[in-house]
Amino acid sequence: MEKPTKKGVAPPMAWRTRLSILAAGCLTDATCRADGTINRRLLNFLDPHVPPSAAPRNGVASRDVVVDPAIPLRARLFYPCPSGGGGGTGDATKPLPVVVFFHGGGFAYLSAASRAYDAACRRIARYAGAAVLSVDYRRSPEHRYPTPYDDGLAALRFLDDPNNHPLAADDGDVPPLDVTRCFVAGDSAGANIAHHVARRYALASTTFANLRLAGLIAIQPFFGGEERTPAELRLVGAPIVSVPRTDWLWRAFLPPGADRTHEAAHAASPAGAAGIDSPAFPPATVVIGGYDPLQDWQRRYCETLRGKGKAVRVLDYPDAIHAFYIFPEFAEARDLMLRIKDIVAGGGGEH
């Protein structure tokens, strides 16, 4: 009798994709030091920044904006262009919904100008017909908790003031922004940031004059705890994520002496759940991959939201690895872009 085939730790994928994933792991391992610091000089060499593009690429243009000059905090704004060729379908007179996006990288790596995230945000803008403000938040270990959450809320406050919005008259094809249809989104650590920024917004929503959060899109959010989950034990050797890497990243991000029961890591903790039960906390979409070692924490996160009476849509991709959506060659990545388009078009909505 033939024995059942044991599921591996990664789905079949093209060799080019495998090489890209291997390179991402090598970038992390080569630049993190045993003393808890990162070799930023080497990292900047291995992860060169892509400049913004006023000329549309694939129908989407981008420009860098200063969110807070005192920090300084910057962000990259992507917007579909009506006259950009390459598939641009925007209307420079029609206000666009806004997706405030936080990149992944374990709070410590990558940036809004990293090639993979520049391309991913460009795809989101094109598919969703939305402006995407990709926040270049400060990274750990130089800037630990709660700095990225502070930066995320600062980005929302920046958008709340219409005087900060670029105007088509001054900047060519930049359309007006409709911040009453605003979404927070991110992947991995960026999804963790999006969640905590949504909590902070919910606790202070009455202080916003114009901006309203319509939805939260958490793509494979980075949460954790002290115990090891079945998925973490089963998927040893999975692409991108490993327990030693995530342990290092939490140590680099959390306050000195804190463990993974801290509110930043553990969404079910009392402090971490504050604000979720507010009517201003938006409906959530949570993306989970079957080859992601973090999936059990993500499902617990969904249970926490539902336990607070919040609407949650779960998008399950059984054959998806962690960070699958930044690889457009995966069919799941293309499907997710279409789902995001529907979420934004539907205004978040109840699930």
Catalytic site residues?
188, 292, 322
* Rounded-to-integer distance, Cα 212 and Cα 224, Å: 29
Cβ-contact 300, 265 below 8 angstroms: no
Q: Are 125 and 157 in contact (CB under 8 A)?
A: no
Integer Cα distance of 56 and 140 in angstroms: 32
Which of 212-243 are b and which e, b meaning 16 or more Cβ less than 10 Å from the residue's Cβ? bbbbbbbbbbbbbbeeebebbeebeebbbbbe
Give the pairing of strands 284-291 and 213-219.
parallel
How many residues are listed for the chain in this entry? 351
| Local structure of 111: helix, strand or coil | coil
- φ/ψ (deg, to 5) at 319: -105, 20
CA dihedral 135→138→139→142, nearest 10 degrees, is 180
32 secondary structure, DSSP code: B
Q: Is 309 exposed, middle or buried (0-12, 13-18, 19+ CB in 10 A)?
A: exposed
Alpha-carbon dihedral sign for residues 147, 152, 157, 159 = positive
User: Dihedral of CA 250/119/217/150: which sign?
Assistant: positive
How far apart are the C-alpha atoms of 268 and 305, rounded to whole Å?
A: 9
Among 320, 292, 310, 322, CA closest to 351: 310
Dihedral, CA of residue 106, residue 296, residue 298 and residue 237, to nearest 10: 30
